[in-house]
Structure 1
Amino acid sequence: MPVSQILGPVVGILIVLIVLGRTLKTVDQAHVAVVTVFGKYRRVLNPGLNVLIPFIEKVHRRVPVQNQTAQLQFSAITGDQAAVHFTATIIFTVSDHSPQTVQLVAFKFIDANSFGVALTSAVEASVREFVATKRQAEVLGLRTDIVQHAKANLDEQLGSWGYTLVDLTVNDIQFDAEVMSSMSRVVAAKNAQTAAEFEGQALLIARTKAAEAEGAAIKIAAESEAEAARLRGAGLAKFREELAKGISQSAQVLEAQGVGAEMLAFTMWTETIRDAAKEGTGNVVFLDGSVEAMDASLRRLQGLTVLQTAAGSKN
């Protein structure tokens, strides 16, 4: 068989395959394809098998319509001129699948790298705007506020590019080594100051409570001593009252029996001397044994007895 007869069918098959390749296009799930005609936007292809006009229509770009993520790293300057380094993750997606939105996404930027640069710049500008109004000591505690501020600004910016912001997370916030070292010293100094203040307050409270307890104890002791003294005084007064009554009654009994009251005084005197000698523990008692001293003692005792008797008569 001549070669020409063989090449003819082969060439025909190749042409058919090429035409089919240019005519049939498959679009993956979660993607749409943008079709152009001689470089101009024509239409959007949905997922699945699609038919193109061969050699006229061309798939310009496949656009993913599921969530996309990007890892961003950028820096900002605080109000007190400290450099802050951020690592953030942004999640975004195409706003909708309408031809207008897909066309905007496909032709807004020349390529994906240009879009990534623009996205990083937008996030960085928003964060810088917020951080520039804060001091370095505040930034670490304002992670949530930074994210909220950035989201509020990025919603409009991404919307103009055909995207919707799903989420933005600031993963890490770092200062330069010198700044971190100085901040650590400041925090340590503040913690030491706070600890000293608490220790001082605790010591003051302990001493105050101890003084209050000591004062209360002294007050209670004084009140108890005063009450004891009052009771001792009352007991002594009662003892003297009863002693006087007993002496008066004894004097009245002696007089009723025709015995002089001086005999009672003499008896009391001798009993006192006897008890002193009996109950004494080595003490020495000196008594004047002369007749004059005895007579003087009897007269004094007799006078005491008369007074007690008179007191008893009045009662």
Structure 2
Amino acid sequence: MSEDQITALLSGSLLYILGAIFLIVVILKGVRIVPQSEKFVVERFGRLKSVLGPGINFIVPFLDAVRHKVSILERQLPNASQDAITRDNVLVEIDTSVFYRILEPEKTVYRIRDVDGAIATTVAGIVRAEIGKMDLDEVQSNRSQLIGEIKRSVESAVDDWGIEVTRAEILDVNLDQATRDAMLQQLNAERARRAQVTEAEGKKRAVELAADAELYSAEQTAKARRIQADAEAYATGVVAKAIAENGLEAAQYQVALKQVEALNTLGAGTGSQTIVVPAQALEAFGDAFKMLKGNK
């Protein structure tokens, strides 16, 4: 084999090798495998071309280039503390924490430079604004409502950045020592007031119950007297009816029976007794027996 043939053979092999290398480079440049937790931002000649999602993606080699690899996992901002003044002029220190994730990387990378810093500044301003609308007691008692307002305001502010705020938390509300002492004095005074009110209400209730008991007793006594009066009226009516139907003899008969019952009771006593029976009593016995016989 001549020298020219060897040279030609080597040249052809080199071309094949270079072609294979170029093909490998084209494949490597044109195929992009994106992890599940990321998105790739592709540019062509310095301008946004596309956003690659998780999986195998194909781009134009040497024309398209992956410029940004953005994580779409949920992120937590570092816990931040900011001072705020409530509506009743109390200085408080609010500890907050915000969670977010990037939904549209093309907006995030081209519209904002420092995402964490921008969100932290936005949250601080919104927290101060919302705290300024509320009294200190409302901040302590309506924390969930305050968190909801902060989350909605932050979502509205960062919407142009392609970001979703998933959670916003108020970790703590801190007060200075002077305010704490004043609140403690107020709390003790409120407890003393409630105790006095409770005692006064107890005394009032006791007086009301005593009055109700007296009223109930009076009502029951009046009811008993009314029943007794009705019974006496009924008895009087019966006697009156008997007199009207049987005449005066019925009345005399009843009187005689009463006299006999009284003498029997007197004679039934224990011990030595001397019973003096007046003449009228004997006549009453006689009248009673006559009436009894007459009635039979």
* Class of the TM-score when normalised by the shorter of the 2 chains: 0.5 to 0.7
Q: Aligned residue for 1:90? A: 98
For residues 169-221 of structure 1, give each alpha carbon's deviation from its aligned partner in whole angstroms, at most 9, with x where no partner exists. Answer: 33333323332332233233323322332332123212321232244336646
Match for residue 31 of structure 1 among 29, 38, 46 = 38
In 1, distance between residues paired with 2:91 and 2:259? Answer: 108
Cα deviation for residue 131 of structure 1 reads 1.4
Aligned equivalent of 1:293: none
In 2: Cα distance, 1:83 partner to 1:141 partner: 17
Q: Quickly say closer, same or farther: Cα 1:54–1:194, change in 2 above 3 A.
A: same
User: How far apart, CA to CA, are the structure 2 residues paired with 1:221 and 1:43?
Assistant: 99
| TM-score (normalised: structure 2) | 0.60
**Map of 1:1-315 to 2, 5 A cutoff?**
23=29, 26-36=33-43, 40-48=47-55, 58-75=65-82, 76-95=84-103, 101-110=104-113, 114-217=114-217, 220=220, 227=228, 245=256, 278=272
**Aligned 8 A contact 1:126 1:149 in 2:** no
Task: Read off the aligned partner of 1:106 and give its amino acid letter.
Answer: V
Do the aligned partners of 2:87 and 2:133 also contact (CA within 8 Å) in 1? yes
C-alpha separation in 2, matches of 1:47 and 1:93: 16
Distance 1:216 1:73, change over 3 A: same
Shift of 1:128: 1.6
RMSD: 4.8
> Which residue is 2:244 aligned to?
none
Secondary structure of the residue aligned to 2:40 is strand
Q: Contact conserved, 1:22 with 1:52, CA < 8 A, in 2?
A: no
Q: Is the 8 A contact 1:127 1:149 kept in 2?
A: no
Structure 1 position 33, deviation (Å): 1.7
Contact in 2 for aligned 1:92/1:166 (Cα 8 Å): yes
Q: Match of 2:10? A: none
Read off the aligned partner of 1:137 and give its amino acid letter: D
Give the gaps of 5 or more residues in structure 1: 1-8, 96-100, 250-267, 281-300
Change (3 A) 1:151 1:223: closer
Report the structure number with the largest CA radius of gyration.
1
Query: What SS class does the counterpart of residue 39 from structure 2 fall into?
Result: strand
Shift of 1:132: 0.7
How many Å apart are 1:37 and its aligned residue?
5.7
Mean Cα deviation higher: 210-219 or 156-165: 210-219
2:77 is paired with a residue whose SS is strand
Gapped regions of structure 2 (runs ≥ 5): 1-13, 240-251, 292-296
**Contact preservation (8 Å) 1:33, 1:60:** yes
Tell me whether 216-225 or 179-188 shows the greater mean CA deviation: 216-225
Report the Cα distance in structure 2 between the residues aligned to 1:248 and 1:179, rounded to whole angstroms: 95
Whether the 8 Å CA contact 2:108–2:115 is kept in 1: the answer is no
